Amino acid sequence: MVLWFCTQYMSNSELKVPHVLIVDRDMQQLRLLVTALRSNAYTVSVIDNESQVYTRIFLQLPDLVLMDVQLPERHGIKAAKQLKDNSLTRRIPIIFISVLAEKNDRLLGLQSGAVDYILKPYYVDEVLERVRIHIALSRRKSPAAPKMPYQHAALESIPKMLSANTSINRVATEFIRAHISDSELKGGDVAASLGLSIHRLNIVFDAMAGMTVFEFIRQQRMKMAAELLKTGSLGVADIAAEVGYANSGNFSTEFKKFWKKSPKQYRLDCRDHTERS
């Protein structure tokens, strides 16, 4: 569930106030912190699933991430490492907030890339001060562009006015391709991974690709199947499984509808074309 997430992509130069992304499931204490941050002129986005941080963060790069670390999965640790491994996000300071007070837990958090580690229950005023300090320190590291702390070579390769629709479409497409072999994959799953309604996601795909999410998933399955038939030696049943069809008969029917020829004929035609050329 997404409590609030700004889907309008803006570069940091366009942000009038610092943007803080909070990743936490502790709704009771979180309300106080969010209210305090907004009262102190911060833009605040909140999600409650650590495993979705990496896909969500590119919709609007924050100035700082406040992230909970929970047992047993410790998704926050994994998300922090992913952000630090990416040239676009490695300069974003991460502060962990957690009930895990053991020395090894705190050390693990700092080793994964966090700049600070705050124990729960916390004092809101203390969190506010640490957020202020780390955003200020981050900006000082980029003296040539104090209002754009993350502008560097890698960021320059991304269009500065990348639209919200383009960002959503890119992340959704990556999710679909990563889960294309899942026969249960539906548009609702893609929307849920982004914290959007299926209606909103269909609007995005209609604007960007001229089709619904369902149609796009089908298109991706058929294109991948065609590529496997053209370049690989897998049998039709194996290819069907690779692109998310549990039944090879259903796959063949859908393939013929899409490409106007059976998988077998498609492969033969590709081989004939290769031999002639």
Of 117, 134, 156, which residue constitutes the final position of a domain? 156
Asked if residue 180 and residue 203 are part of one domain, the reply reads yes
Asked if residue 29 and residue 136 are part of one domain, the reply reads yes
Asked if residue 171 and residue 150 are part of one domain, the reply reads no
Asked if residue 209 and residue 248 are part of one domain, the reply reads yes
pTM of the model: 0.50
Asked if residue 152 and residue 203 are part of one domain, the reply reads no
Q: What stretches in the chain show pLDDT beneath 50?
A: 1-15, 71, 143-162
pLDDT of residue 9: 37
Asked if residue 55 and residue 26 are part of one domain, the reply reads yes
Of 130, 156, 182, which residue constitutes the final position of a domain? 156
For residue range 86-142, list pLDDT tens digits in order.
888 888 999 998 888 888 888 888 888 889 999 888 888 899 999 999 999 988 875
CATH number at residue 25: 3.40.50.2300
Instruction: Give the domain range for residue 9.
Output: 2-156
CATH number at residue 256: 1.10.10.60
Asked if residue 177 and residue 137 are part of one domain, the reply reads no
Task: Judge whether 257 and 219 are in contact, CB under 8 Å.
Answer: no
Asked if residue 170 and residue 122 are part of one domain, the reply reads no
pLDDT of residue 266: 93
Asked if residue 179 and residue 270 are part of one domain, the reply reads yes
Tell me how many domains the chain contains: 2
pLDDT of residue 143: 47
Give CA torsion, residues 215, 173, 179, 74, to 10 deg: -140
For residue range 170-185, list pLDDT tens digits in order.
888 888 988 999 999 9
pLDDT of residue 142: 58
Asked if residue 196 and residue 145 are part of one domain, the reply reads no
pLDDT of residue 74: 65
- Burial class, 53, CB count within 10 angstroms (exposed 0-12 / middle 13-18 / buried 19+): buried
Asked if residue 17 and residue 152 are part of one domain, the reply reads yes
Asked if residue 28 and residue 134 are part of one domain, the reply reads yes
